[in-house]
Structure 1
């Protein structure tokens, strides 16, 4: 009793669905909000007695959200134009309190009942890495786990092409997905990934909305997204079956430049300001030594978020904490001296780094910074090391980044207190290449008992899914296969006790899976 209308359908198919809806044989109709711009569809829309309008991905209606789509603004006027107002429901998986309030305003919801089920996904392991060579890190990771499904997100189409080619040249199959490809290739890539024909899809953020593949074991962001909203929605495509999964961010300074470029293309200054602020939040996330899970939950307004967890890179890290108290005071002092020397002007991290390293650049000389006391006091440090410390100080609130197209640094309430106190400041040392995500993934792999049996069951599942033309997780999820490996059901009664098995699936698949389990037990 459900149907959808989309742009790939012939007109006679659409007309046929119209008739079925009018006759009452179809009760639930899925459309894209762009459909509301079509006068013919609006005429059909007004002819119906509509009981409920459901808005999925409702954050798209808010300009403060990470994925604003102007077509969503057509929804409220369309509902208002109905002779009898329908009940309206809106759903989203990622929305800050500000975005939730904006959804209510934009959809003109009337005294809505609101429920938030919580943002914490306990099975996800969050990790931020600062690798010297992102490609090497990525290839080491995917080679370590070639038999699982994973998504690699890149910020540009060019990066998608490059990363996908490098993975394929290493001997591992991967497909690509971005808006620059024709619709046929995008569909082929999507189906190859969903149906487990290929394990890795490399994509821009064009991939993912509406995709519900349950057995994605990792999501790697090759580039930092511009907002926490986008990051958490994309990372959240991992581990939807409830089994452990990795969400890894590979941070590089160039990611900030790319994000700033995209933001600068907007013509709306209000939107720009909000976007720069959100970008700052992502940079802070990539440099904090605090709990990454807590950082995410606090962003989304989760009350009573724990200060620590046992499943993020910060809380489980064995990397050394380095005392940067002296360096931090030198950096902060230089911010002060530069402002003092120029009558209160503020400067960004690039010129601050040049001053600290004693640069002889024309700009430094013309501003007279070669004459201030902090010029050259960190000349022995690499540019990257100083930039890391500046970002860390901003993430921890000892410096403030006043964002804009050219962000500048200033003091916060914590700055003066830190300078006058004996507080020791510790920063985590970023390794060129960290083994932690690999050992984490290895740990989660061993949580699936009887891996040999798991592979046999997965092969059988693939046979059924191929024969039925459905994704493998529709037959049974990885979580259900894992439960079979643990419970080892030997008959139909036991098989029905496995989580994820009901009477329908028992009848369709039970005997075949029980047979594989029993044969494995007899040979074990």
Structure 2
């Protein structure tokens, strides 16, 4: 558990900086573990809230939290988001000048930062501050990159083991969205924290609908798919650079706002494409897998795989980039045998070729499955679902099943009798009574179940066992020569006569007709949500930050539903913290009131500003009013600004000087009258508080009337 001094600060800190009233899943337990200075590993799906697990403790620790991150784009995105929330954060990498890097180092030494993001390659540049005097915590993001068993192995990550040796008393938190059993263990050993507490959250992203289609006329299918979703951002993953460019051109020719992204583009070109996408200037990106890890864009509504991914880890991570805000999202994968052949060629000659091929086979089996796809995906990561998901193409169009209990018992019994030490091919050979060299050399013909499945063809046995794997009744141990292993469900089948339902093996047809779906009712251009979305977009251009860093789609949806018309009500919205209330509250509330207009049929509860006015007129100070009303003093100041603007009897110069008003008037002219407060805040280089800017603007605006 975290130290008692932190306990009462957890929820207030969460609300103030991140805008949430409660923690999700295991977040609080993880945060308490970190604050207790214990090492831990966090396996949590994309969009599950991993970042808060180290960002919140960083705010409570005295020193800086060092965050190891693989991509410059990811660092900038995270840091921009933190700064937007009022957190002191920075990044340190090769894109900066020596002077800029030294300035960051000085900030760490002066305890002016809470979080510092750095790439593994840039760690030597921080040598002078890699001391427990300055560093309170180390977070290793995308930790699967350290393991050769991982799907995105990066040699630069393998040096990170020195951190624990150099800072033995500093807690390390390793985080990733995708890691199978072998990868998890390897991560802990490589980092040097073998006894770390492990927190494995559910991999189930229920909001993402899973769909797989044969690769027949892909481009036409994709065009129809996107045109049904005219305002939704998405990513299309392709296998080659050429495919990204050709598909992007096809989509552009069909009136779809789209750009290509791949490693062949220059740094400036890639940055431009990424920025246009983040700022909602481009709806669709056609990309190789080089795109995405650095994207924390919360309003991606769909992912399409133009080609089949090389493994389930990559597939899971890529589809996880959709629906990060928890709203409905869609993952569509096109599969073809030509993709499998191409991916096999890519794997040839790799140091872990056998592992890559086995994982590719597993990916292929997933695309050809006739059982709930979510069950398959989750069982791959060791999570067993007992019910079908009802949100994948198989569940929505279920095949006919047969009672396969006896078939399953024969296969699982054979796995048990060979002591879980054989791969799928050998298991089938035993069941079929084969007499090849492998069987005879290992004396597998002596196994009791030898030959009990001769009535079933080899290929049919293969599909049955794949179905058992897909349903979590056995699993492939990729790090143990792809041997089949039993699971908890295996025991129920073998000893409790649990029913197993299988489908008859079928030959996969490539020409399945596209399912016709009902066209969704389009959001009208004049709905409150669209007006809020447009306002958010305008502010994002003005402040030069991505729109979703202001408020994500889920927050906008809640604002639309709740329609808050006071600061207290606005603060109850998930995703609205104190900082965002101060910066954006007025302008969004004004938009809501303008939209509602005559639709407000009866007065709401007594206007909160008038309550403040009554107390002000009674002679209470701002601090007294804040205590009496249980509000932040900054909120009370915003009331004073509104009251003054509404013509109430307020002595505004009790709270602000004439020179400050003149400075804001000058800034307004030079900034061309921005609607948001942040441009003013940056204009004054953070030397004038938001509440004073708001008070001064109330005077300037009134004088201009």
TM-score of the superposition, structure 2-length normalised?
Answer: 0.57
Question: 1:73-88 alignment to 2 at 5 Å?
Answer: 73-82=158-167, 84-88=168-172
Corresponding residue number in structure 1 for 2:361 = 280
Residue 323 (structure 2) pairs with residue 221 (structure 1): no
Change (3 A) 1:282 1:521: same
> Partner residue of 1:93?
177
Distance, in Å, in 2 between the alignment partners of 1:435 and 1:460 is 36
Task: Specify the alignment match of 1:32 in structure 2.
Answer: 119
Aligned: 1:175 with 2:259? yes
Identify if the C-alpha distance between structure 1 residues 224 and 483 changes in structure 2 by more than 3 Å, giving closer, same or farther.
Answer: same
**Separation in structure 2 between the aligned mates of residue 68 and residue 314 of structure 1, nearest angstrom:** 32
Segment drifting more, 217-226 vs 250-259: 250-259
Structure 1 residues 492 and 28: alpha-carbon distance in aligned structure 2, compared to 1, 3 A threshold: closer
Query: Which has the higher Rg, Structure 1 or Structure 2?
Result: 2
8 Å contact from structure 1 (residues 126, 247) kept in 2: yes
Alignment of 1:418-497 (within 5 A): 425=504, 427=506, 432-435=512-515, 438-439=517-518, 452-497=527-572
Residues 256 and 390 from structure 1, CA distance in 2 versus in 1: closer, same or farther, beyond 3 angstroms?
farther
Change (3 A) 1:451 1:316: farther
> Measured at CA, do residues 513 and 12 of structure 1 come closer, stay the same or move farther in structure 2, by a change above 3 Å?
closer
Query: Contact between 2:370 and 2:503, CA under 8 Å: does it hold in 1?
Result: no
User: Which of 330, 335, 351 lines up with 1:246 in the alignment?
Assistant: 330
- Once residues 305 and 171 of structure 2 are traced to their aligned partners in structure 1, the CA distance between those partners, rounded to angstroms, is 38
The residue aligned with 1:396 is 467
- Match of residue 51, structure 1, among 136, 139, 157: 136
**In 2 relative to 1, CA 509–43 (structure 1 residues): closer, same or farther, beyond 3 Å?**
closer
Rounded to whole Å, the distance in 2 between the matches of 1:476 and 1:122 is 22
Residue of 105, 109, 128 corresponding to 1:22 = 109
The Cα offsets for residues 480-518 of structure 1, whole Å up to 9 and x where unpaired, read as 222233233444444444333344433433343334334
Provide the residue aligned with 2:574 in structure 1. Answer: 499
Matched, 1:139 2:220: no
**1:470 and 1:49, CA in 2 relative to 1: closer, same or farther beyond 3 A?**
closer
The alignment partner of 1:396 has SS state of: helix
Q: In structure 2, how many angstroms separate the alpha carbons of the residues matched to 1:516 and 1:435?
A: 40
Give the whole-Å Cα distance in 1 for the aligned partners of 2:165 and 2:239. Answer: 38
Which of 161, 184, 199 in structure 1 is aligned with 2:245? 161
Task: Report what 2:410 is aligned to.
Answer: none
| Cα deviation code 1:250-296 (max 9, x no counterpart) | 11111111211111141x1xx11111111111101101111111111
Question: How many residues are matched?
Answer: 453
> In structure 2, which of residues 542, 559, 584 is the aligned counterpart of residue 509 of structure 1?
584
Equivalent residues of 2:400, 2:503 under 8 A apart? no
Which sections of structure 2, spanning at least 5 residues, go unmatched? 1-87, 405-424, 440-458, 470-475, 479-501, 600-705
| Alpha-carbon distance in structure 2 between the residues aligned to 1:43 and 1:497 | 43
CA distance in 2, matches of 1:254, 1:240: 32
Q: Distance in 1 between matches of 2:240 and 2:361?
A: 20
By how many angstroms is 1:99 displaced? 1.0
Distance of aligned partners of 1:12 and 1:205 in 2 relative to their CA distance in 1, 3 Å threshold: same
1:50/1:464 CA distance change after superposition, 3 Å: closer
Offset at residue 110 of structure 1 (A):
4.3
Quickly say closer, same or farther: Cα 1:450–1:120, change in 2 above 3 A.
farther
Q: Are residues 1:310 and 2:390 paired?
A: yes
Quote the Cα distance in structure 1 between the aligned partners of 2:561 and 2:166: 56
CA distance in 2, matches of 1:52, 1:130: 47
CA gap 1:52/1:505 in 2 versus in 1, 3 angstroms? closer
Q: 1:193-231, CA deviations, whole angstroms, 9 ceiling, x for partnerless residues?
A: 011111111111111113210000001111111111111
CA displacement 1:326-373 (0-9 Å, x = unmatched): xxxxxx9xx99xx99998899xxxxxxxxxxxxxxxxxxxxxxxxxxx
Task: Indicate conservation of the 8 Å contact 2:129/2:135, yes or no.
Answer: no
Kindly indicate whether the alpha-carbon contact (under 8 Å) linking 1:174 and 1:201 is maintained by their aligned counterparts in 2.
yes
CA distance in 1, matches of 2:101, 2:467: 55
Match of 2:414 in 1: none
Indicate the residue corresponding to 1:367 in structure 2. none
* Conservation of the 8 A alpha-carbon contact between 2:109 and 2:129: no
Partner in structure 1 of residue 667 of structure 2: none
CA distance in 2, matches of 1:238, 1:23: 39
Q: Considering only aligned residues, what root-mean-square deviation do their CA atoms show, in Å?
A: 4.1
Task: Please tell me whether residue 13 in structure 1 is matched to residue 100 in structure 2.
Answer: yes
> Take 1:31 and 1:183, find their aligned partners in 2: how far apart are those partners?
19
Question: CA, structure 1 residues 512+180, in 2 after alignment: closer, same or farther (shift >3 Å)?
Answer: same
* Counterparts of 1:457 and 1:478, CA distance in 2: 10
1:455 Cα deviation from its structure 2 partner: 1.6
Does structure 2 conserve the Cα–Cα contact (< 8 Å) formed by 1:224 and 1:251? yes
Residue segments in structure 1 that go unaligned for 5+ positions in a row: 326-331, 347-386, 405-422
Query: Which residue number corresponds to residue 68 of structure 1?
Result: 153
* Counterpart secondary structure, 1:13: helix
- C-alpha separation between the residues in 1 aligned to 2:594 and 2:163? 60
Q: Is the counterpart of residue 295 in structure 1 residue 376 in structure 2?
A: yes
Residue 473 of structure 1, CA deviation: 1.0
Tell me the CA shift for residue 171 of structure 1: 1.2
CA gap 1:215/1:166 in 2 versus in 1, 3 angstroms: same
| Partner SS, residue 262 of structure 1 | helix
| Change beyond 3 A, Cα 1:293–1:17 | same
Picking from 208, 214, 217, the partner of 1:124 is 208
